[in-house]
Amino acid sequence: MSGFAISATGLRKTFGKGAARVAALKGVDLRLRAGELTLLMGPSGSGKSTLVAALGGLQRPDEGEVLALGEAIWRRKGGALTAFRRRHCGFVFQSVGLFPSLTALEQIMIPLTYIGYGQSAARKHALQALDEVGLAGRETSRPGEMSGGENQRVAIARMIAKEPRLIFCDEPTSSLDRDNGALVAALLHRAAKDHNAMVLCVTHDDRLVPHADRVIEMEDGHLKTDSERTQMS
186-232 pLDDT, tens digit per residue, is: 889 989 999 899 999 999 888 889 989 999 999 999 999 998 865 44
80-103 pLDDT, tens digit per residue, is: 999 999 889 999 887 778 999 999
Domain membership of residue 104 (yes or no) is: no
Residue with the bigger pLDDT between 106 and 78: it is 106
Pairwise CA distance, residues 132 & 152, whole Å: 13
Domain membership of residue 33 (yes or no) is: yes
The confidence score (pLDDT) of residue 97 equals 84
Pairwise CA distance, residues 119 & 101, whole Å: 19
Pairwise CA distance, residues 41 & 205, whole Å: 9
Q: What are phi and psi of 166, to 5 degrees?
A: -130, 120
Per the prediction, the chain carries an average pLDDT of: 91
The confidence score (pLDDT) of residue 48 equals 95
Strand partners, 11: 28
Predicted TM-score of the model (pTM) = 0.89
Tell me the C-alpha to C-alpha distance, in Å, between residue 218 and each of 15, 40, 43, 56, 144. 18, 7, 8, 17, 36
Q: Are strands 222-228 and 214-219 parallel, antiparallel or unpaired?
A: antiparallel
Q: Does 233 have pLDDT greater than 50?
A: no
Domain span at residue 169? 6-97+164-228
Domain membership of residue 13 (yes or no) is: yes
What pLDDT band is residue 1 in, cutting at 50, 70 and 90?
very low
173: domain CATH number?
3.40.50.300
Domain membership of residue 211 (yes or no) is: yes
Domain membership of residue 22 (yes or no) is: yes
Domain membership of residue 21 (yes or no) is: yes
Q: How many domains does the chain have?
A: 1
Domain membership of residue 177 (yes or no) is: yes
Query: Residue 143: how many CB atoms within 10 A of its CB?
Result: 20
Domain membership of residue 59 (yes or no) is: yes
